[in-house]
Amino acid sequence: MTEQSVSTALPLQGVYPENGHRTDGERNIIQSINPITKVVLGEVPVATPEDIQAVMQRVRAAQPAWASRPLEERIALLRQFQKSLYYHHEAMVQMLADEAGKVLHEARIEMIDAFGVTEYYVKITKKALKPQPRYVMLLPYRRQKVVRKPYGVVLVIAPWNFPLLLSLTPIITALVAGNTVVYKPSEYGTQTGELIKKALYDAGFPEDVFQIVHGYGDVGAALIDARPDKICFTGSETTGRKIAAKAGEHLIPVIMELGGKDAAIVLEDADIERTARGLVWAGVFNAGQMCVAIERVYVMRSVADQLIERMKYHMEKSVRPGPNSDHHSTYGAIITEAQAKIIQQQVEDARAKGATVMTFSEPHGENAERFYAPTLITNVKPDMEIMQRETFGPVIPVIPVDSEEEAIRLHNDSEYGLTGSVWTEDAERGKRIMEQLNVGVVSLNDHVVSMSTPEMPWGGIKASGYGRTRGIEGLHEMTYPQTFSTERFRLPYKFDLFWLPYTPFKKAFLRRFFHLWFGATFKDRLKAFKP
């Protein structure tokens, strides 16, 4: 998803990202800076190794008492948090716009999605974490059930592109399940992180159960070395591999929500006007800075020219990058210069190899370099970098194909496997194709819609990660299943078929039972009655 570095060395190296940085005595300070106006939005201290150890000790000490609180109390706090978030929502929306460079409408969409996630877990947590009885055929004298136990301390490392939604989901599921949480927001999302902290504390969550830690990649590495019991990371594939390796040193389980190279398949019977609108929106929403942005379109050759023409039209007429202060803007800034260079490098590589590059609504005015024009690319080849690596920008390559089999093959020919979509008026044909796509989330005649469905599990396969957030599955990810076995009644030990001594009676009984219960045919089962 987004690029967050994880180093293996604790000391800061003196090279910092594009957000502000200063020192206050021996303390390093991160300044959150609006990527468009360059206004300083706030400051936070960078955690030292001593800070990290103290925080981990604090939340670890608090976890047993937190887990022992009745589940109803934790759910009630989550319900109160929803109210707290509501009372902070205007400040949160404005901060999302200012800190992440979003337009206000898209910041409000993120806020609404965050509310949906919170409301969902208020409603389903009690049932989802309820112990599940299991009947074990060979042990009728025992009661068996599966209970969900919290891991302990959960480390949440969050990105900058959706700093509220992608932070809040793992935080609230971890907390309500009985874990304590250490939260490291992106160095580009520190002030959004601070507002999340304030809303949680205002709702009544104890400070000992939720702590926020700020810093760069070295702080993330130190947090992993402090040995949390579980990690939830959302970010780039590159950083995810480093985190997986480092967590593997301590055998810490990790939820990985990484990058994508999402593709759409457009069939010849698709509603071209609606499809063009949907593809453009799914490619440029949040300036394309999302793991679920459409970055490949495979369209049947017979309708390719028509689709490209309508996509060009909507990019020209409906898409306008610009600051949130301009109410005509439809998407905001590329948050870092480094990300803008990645986008431009991929586009130039495609152009140099023969692709046709069309850009629309060129940004202009003050800080225009922070905005990237919506871009449509045709005549692309599979070996181009823009077809292989995540772009993370408002760029959509379109590739004609001659059959649905070719479209499916090209769709699946990717290192990534996050989401995909099929666009057709034939629902049965669309569902048949969807079943063949190797991704974690697939949609018919829509794409980014899956981000607004808290009821459904979210995550990918291959280089897009593993584990799930959201849905019942996301809540269960923050727990481990414990087999809980108690007595229904007690057998005398001499009748317990599995205990010593292995008497002739026990041996004969097990042999007869095996044939009677598992015999492949009626004749085989009759062997139970033979001496």
Distance CA 29, CA 340 (A): 25
How far CA 98 is from CA of 91, 168, 189, in Å, comes to 10, 19, 10
The helix-helix angle for 104-128 and 89-100 (nearest 10°) equals: 120
- At which residue do the structure tokens 């591999």 appear? 241
Nearest to 346 by CA among 320, 307, 380: 380
Backbone angles phi, psi at 24, to 5 degrees: -125, 90
291 is catalytic: yes
- Do residues 440 and 460 lie in contact, with contact meaning Cβ atoms separated by under 8 Å? yes
pLDDT value of position 19 = 63
- Do residues 121 and 176 lie in contact, with contact meaning Cβ atoms separated by under 8 Å? yes
pLDDT value of position 9 = 27
Cite the beta strand spans of 138-276 per DSSP E: 142-150, 153-157, 180-184, 210-212, 230-234, 254-257, 262-266
- 309's tokens: 């023409």
- What DSSP element (H or E) covers 501? none
Torsion of CA 303, 444, 441, 411, to 10 degrees: -20
**How many Å separate Cα 384 from the centre of its chain?**
27
Nearest to 33 by CA among 107, 99, 103: 99
- 205's tokens: 């969550």
- What DSSP element (H or E) covers 422? strand 419-423
Strand, coil or helix: 412 = helix
Torsion of CA 385, 442, 315, 258, to 10 degrees: -50
Q: Which residues pair with 378 in a beta bridge?
A: 356
Of 99, 232, 237, 291, catalytic: 291
- 49's tokens: 């190794």
Distance CA 82, CA 76 (A): 10
Pairing mode, if any, of strands 153-157 and 180-184?
parallel
Pairing mode, if any, of strands 254-257 and 465-466?
antiparallel
232 is catalytic: no
Answer left, alpha or beta for residue 42, where phi above 0 means left and psi between -120 and 50 means alpha: left
- 84's tokens: 């707290």
> Tens-of-pLDDT digits for all 531 residues of the chain?
443 333 322 222 233 345 677 777 778 999 999 999 999 999 999 999 999 999 999 999 999 999 999 999 999 999 999 999 999 899 999 999 999 999 999 999 999 999 999 999 999 999 999 999 999 988 999 999 999 999 999 999 999 999 999 999 999 999 999 999 999 999 999 999 999 999 999 999 999 999 999 999 999 999 999 999 999 999 999 999 999 999 999 999 999 999 999 999 999 999 999 999 999 999 999 999 999 999 999 999 999 999 999 999 999 999 999 988 888 899 999 998 889 999 999 999 999 999 999 988 877 666 788 899 999 999 999 889 999 999 999 999 999 999 999 999 999 999 999 999 999 999 999 999 999 999 999 999 999 988 889 999 999 999 999 999 999 999 999 999 999 999 999 988 888 888 999 999 999 999 999 999 999 999 999 999 998
Distance CA 308, CA 121 (A): 41
Backbone angles phi, psi at 475, to 5 degrees: -70, -45
Of 106, 110, 187, 257, catalytic: 257
Q: DSSP 3-state helix, strand, coil percentages of the chain (rounded to 5)?
A: 45, 20, 35
- Do residues 384 and 355 lie in contact, with contact meaning Cβ atoms separated by under 8 Å? yes
Distance CA 125, CA 4 (A): 31
Domains in the chain, ordered, with CATH?
20-39+54-258+472-481 (3.40.605.10), 262-454 (3.40.309.10), 491-529 (no CATH)
Distance CA 529, CA 523 (A): 11
Contacts of residue 339, defined as CB under 8 A and 6 or more positions apart, other chains included, come to 3, 289, 392, 393
Buried b (16+ CB within 10 A) or exposed e, 341-356: ebbeebbeebeeeebe
pLDDT value of position 365 = 66
Cite the beta strand spans of 294-393 per DSSP E: 294-300, 356-359, 375-378
Amino acid identity, residue 369?
E
What value does the CA radius of gyration of the chain take, rounded to a whole number of Å? 27
- HSE (CB half, 13 Å, CA atoms) of 169? 37
Q: Which residues pair with 519 in a beta bridge?
A: none
Pairing mode, if any, of strands 230-234 and 153-157?
parallel
Q: Which residues pair with 232 in a beta bridge?
A: 156, 255
pLDDT value of position 361 = 82
Q: Which residues pair with 142 in a beta bridge?
A: 487
Pairing mode, if any, of strands 142-150 and 479-487?
antiparallel
Long-range own/partner contacts, residues 11-17 (CB < 8 A, 24 or more apart): 11/218, 12/46, 12/216, 12/218, 13/218, 16/216, 17/187, 17/188, 17/216, 17/336, 17/338
